[in-house]
């Protein structure tokens, strides 16, 4: 949850605005004389359910709790964020603290880079590294790959690395912070890695964040693989090996292939398969899926044959499925009752028993590509994994299969594909499709159960704005469109982060100046939009997509305004306030005419496409 969302959850816009304006109850809402212009009739309204405000008078302004504070106090976003955070009891990361953390992280990256260069030199030149060189040769790793990935060797010494780095000006506490040396009983420190093949692990920007270290075959050391400990720059669950090399290929091909091991990635890239990354021997995590999701919505997982049905594997696949699922509105739901849809393609490669991806690729690269192209869908894999452990000849087995598979089937976005899997399950269990549809309805929560669940109030605070984010991603990733942003007013953006980013974007010539003009609380959102996967497009397709986003955002703004006016109109009519009803009717004509023109414009544009 962002700090902005946290503040919105803790504060109520009615309480905040009432400190500045005398509010009167107006049905479910509140009204007052607008604090931003002179008027005799109240036209300023607060909508608690949406946590928003709007003036239906001459200024026509509106927004959320942040925009109100900025306007009323004549302050910028950072200052409004500080005031509201203080009121909500939310601690902010200051720019000074952020810069200090950045400096610390940069120093750790420098230490790791120096260690990687040292290890690499030893691998190429040191006599004790002969065993490591022979191992790489036996695994088919070329000299070019060794150099490209800067593979290395750690000597069988307690302090060789420590002494080397200290002689280069690094401090002992920096080496400990980077996880390169460890302290024993609060006394002497010693090198973390000894007599191992060293594999630098780089983040998405190419900086060495940590190391994977493999024990050499004849050495007998345990564990077989030893990774850097968690540090300020290294989190094994939040990084993918090879991601720095694979980002471009994943975007270009629209597909990410995830394997388990370092050697699998090295061989894949050596053979030109640059969209391959590794989870480093663990099940996929939410953080790792977040990295992939920003690059593509198409994922293939290479799984060991022995992993089929394994609980850890299934948990990882559930993480992947959930990461690619998006909540849908009530209007999109059908008889199956799913509350989310899978937005992407998730497939599984069944590896030959006893073989790793690197072996398959070395033996026959074309066969590996055939396996990728013919990967099993995630749903087929779930069918196989679930039913293989159940006795479908018994009623209990059938019931368990239905209970585990029906919720997954209900979340398939394509209705035809969903119908096929429903039919497949019905055939496996020997029951009718109607029975399964009814059972699916029983599995989902009832309306009463959903209504009684504890949810954040108001719900509008945690709503995502995908159209706004897509528009901003287009502007950010295609600077040639930047001048077109002036076609939209800022109030087209309902999301606070999106609105502030849009305003700053129009005044910033490049990404670095944009980042520095933003409050640090918006940096993560900026990175998310910069890394968002967009489908490949030529100039014409890009222009069409951008124009469509612009038009639809304008439509959304007018529909939003129309909805607010209809709400007020209904309440005024129920209270018998004829004068207010007439005034609102007159005011409602303006957005209705604008909306009609926009819809006609969109219809004509689609006809001409």
Question: What is the domain-level CATH number for residue 159?
Answer: 3.90.980.10
At residue 46, φ and ψ (nearest 5 deg) are: -110, 130
Q: How far apart are CA 415 and CA 334, in angstroms?
A: 10
Residues 340, 257 share a domain: yes
Confidence at residue 488, expressed as pLDDT on a 0 to 100 scale: 83
Question: By CB neighbour count within 10 A (0-12 exposed, 13-18 middle, 19+ buried), where does 250 fall?
Answer: buried
120: which 2 tokens? 């690499």
Q: Which residues pair with 214 in a beta bridge?
A: 197, 225
Confidence at residue 2, expressed as pLDDT on a 0 to 100 scale: 77
Q: What is the mean pLDDT of the chain?
A: 80
Residues 405, 537 share a domain: no
Residues 532, 498 share a domain: yes
Residues 506, 433 share a domain: no
Residues 207, 334 share a domain: no
The residue ranges of the chain whose pLDDT is under 50 are 327-342, 444-462, 588-589, 592, 595
Q: How far apart are CA 384 and CA 566, in angstroms?
A: 52
CATH number at residue 537: 1.10.860
Confidence at residue 209, expressed as pLDDT on a 0 to 100 scale: 95
Q: How far apart are CA 251 and CA 369, in angstroms?
A: 18
CATH number at residue 402: 1.20.50
144 in any annotated domain:
yes
Residue that finishes a domain, picked among 233, 268, 284: 233
Pairing of the two strands 44-47 and 29-32: antiparallel
382 in any annotated domain:
no
Residues 268, 368 share a domain: yes
CA 339, distance to chain mean position in Å, is: 19
For the chain, what is the radius of gyration of the CA atoms? 29
Residues 126, 227 share a domain: yes
Count of the separate structural domains present in the chain: 5
Residues 587, 474 share a domain: yes
Confidence at residue 431, expressed as pLDDT on a 0 to 100 scale: 80
Q: Please say whether the beta carbons of 515 and 527 come within 8 A.
A: no
Confidence at residue 373, expressed as pLDDT on a 0 to 100 scale: 92
Q: How far apart are CA 278 and CA 261, in angstroms?
A: 6
CA dihedral for 242, 245, 248, 249, sign (positive or negative)? negative
Q: What is the pLDDT of residues 445-499, one digit of tens each?
A: 443 343 333 333 333 334 568 888 888 988 888 888 888 888 888 888 888 888 9
456 in any annotated domain:
no
CA 147, distance to chain mean position in Å, is: 32
Residues 262, 178 share a domain: no
CA dist 378 → 276, 316, 350 (Å)? 18, 12, 11
Confidence at residue 482, expressed as pLDDT on a 0 to 100 scale: 80
93 in any annotated domain:
no
Residue that finishes a domain, picked among 233, 250, 270: 233
48 in any annotated domain:
yes
Residue 401: give the domain boundaries.
390-444
104: which 2 tokens? 């610390």
Residues 241, 219 share a domain: no
Helix axes 466-477, 496-506, angle to 10 degrees: 20
248 in any annotated domain:
yes
Helix axes 539-574, 578-608, angle to 10 degrees: 160
A 10 A CB-CB count for 312 gives 10
Q: Please say whether the beta carbons of 498 and 465 come within 8 A.
A: yes
Residues 187, 130 share a domain: yes
Residue that finishes a domain, picked among 190, 209, 233: 233
450 in any annotated domain:
no
Phi-psi region of 179 (alpha: psi -120 to 50; beta: other; left: phi over 0): left
Q: Residue 32: which H helix or E strand, with range?
A: strand 29-32
Burial pattern 584-605, b for ≥16 Cβ within 10 A else e, equals: beebbeebeebbeebeeebeee
458 in any annotated domain:
no
Confidence at residue 587, expressed as pLDDT on a 0 to 100 scale: 54
Q: How far apart are CA 539 and CA 543, in angstroms?
A: 6
Sheet with 29-32: list strands edge to edge.
24-26, 29-32, 44-47, 52-55, 62-63
CATH number at residue 7: 3.90.580.10
**pTM, rounded to two decimals:** 0.62
CATH number at residue 336: 3.40.1360.10
User: CB neighbours of 330 closer than 8 A, spacing ≥ 6?
Assistant: none
| Residue matched to tokens 């969903």 | 418
Residues 59, 156 share a domain: no
């Amino acid at each position: 949850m962002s700090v902005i969302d946290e503040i919105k959850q803790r504060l109520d816009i009615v309480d905040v605005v009432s400190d500045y304006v005398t509010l009167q109850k107006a049905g479910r809402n509140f009204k007052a004389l607008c604090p931003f212009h002179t008027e005799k009739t109240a036209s300023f309204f607060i909508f608690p359910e949406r946590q928003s405000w709007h003036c239906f008078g001459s200024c026509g302004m509106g927004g959320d709790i942040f925009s109100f504070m900025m306007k009323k106090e004549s302050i910028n976003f950072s200052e409004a964020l500080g005031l509201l955070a203080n009121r909500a009891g939310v601690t902010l990361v200051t720019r000074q603290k952020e810069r200090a953390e950045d400096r610390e992280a940069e120093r750790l990256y420098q230490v790791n880079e120096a260690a990687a260069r040292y290890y690499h030199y030893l691998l190429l030149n040191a006599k004790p590294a002969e065993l490591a060189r022979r191992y790489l040769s036996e695994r088919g790793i070329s000299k070019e790959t060794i150099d490209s990935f800067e593979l290395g060797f750690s000597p069988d010494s307690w302090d060789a690395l420590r002494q080397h780095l200290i002689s280069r000006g690094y401090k002992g506490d920096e080496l400990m912070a980077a996880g390169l040396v460890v302290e024993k009983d609060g006394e002497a420190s010693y090198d973390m890695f000894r007599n191992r093949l060293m594999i630098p692990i780089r983040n998405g920007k190419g900086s060495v964040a940590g190391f994977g270290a493999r024990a050499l075959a004849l050495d007998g050391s345990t564990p077989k693989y030893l990774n850097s400990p968690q540090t300020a720059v290294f989190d094994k669950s939040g990084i993918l090996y090879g991601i720095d090399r694979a980002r471009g290929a994943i975007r270009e091909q629209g597909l990410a292939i995830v394997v388990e091991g370092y050697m699998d990635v090295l061989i894949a890239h050596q053979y030109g398969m640059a969209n391959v990354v590794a989870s480093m021997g663990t099940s996929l995590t939410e953080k790792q899926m977040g990295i992939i999701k920003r690059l593509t919505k198409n994922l293939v997982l290479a799984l060991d044959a022995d992993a089929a049905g394994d609980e850890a594997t299934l948990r990882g696949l559930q993480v992947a499925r959930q990461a690619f699922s998006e909540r849908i509105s009530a209007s999109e739901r059908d008889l199956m009752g799913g509350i989310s849809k899978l937005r992407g393609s998730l497939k599984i490669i069944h590896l030959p028993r006893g073989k790793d991806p690197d072996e398959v690729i070395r033996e026959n690269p074309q066969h590996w590509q055939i396996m990728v192209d013919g990967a099993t869908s995630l749903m087929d894999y779930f069918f196989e994994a679930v039913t293989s452990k159940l006795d479908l000849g018994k009623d209990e087995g059938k019931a368990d299969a239905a209970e585990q598979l029906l919720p997954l089937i209900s979340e398939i976005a394509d209705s035809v594909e969903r119908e096929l899997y429903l039919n497949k399950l019905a055939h496996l269990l020997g029951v009718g499709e109607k029975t399964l549809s009814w059972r699916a309805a029983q599995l989902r929560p009832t309306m009463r159960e959903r209504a009684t669940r504890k949810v954040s109030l108001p719900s509008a605070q945690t709503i995502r704005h995908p159209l706004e984010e897509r528009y901003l991603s287009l502007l950010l990733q295609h600077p040639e469109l930047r001048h077109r942003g002036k076609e939209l007013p800022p109030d087209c953006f309902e999301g606070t982060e999106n609105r502030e980013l849009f305003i700053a974007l129009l005044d910033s010539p490049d990404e670095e100046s944009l980042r520095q003009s933003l409050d640090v609380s918006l940096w993560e959102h900026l990175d998310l939009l910069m890394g968002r996967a967009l489908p490949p497009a030529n100039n014409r397709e890009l222009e069409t997509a951008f124009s469509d986003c612009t038009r639809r955002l304008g439509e959304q703004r007018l529909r939003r305004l129309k909805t607010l006016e209809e709400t007020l109109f209904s309440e005024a009519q129920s209270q018998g306030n004829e004068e207010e009803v007439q005034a609102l009717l007159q005011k409602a004509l303006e957005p209705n005419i604008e909306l009609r023109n926009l819809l006609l414009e969109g219809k004509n544009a689609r006809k001409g496409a």
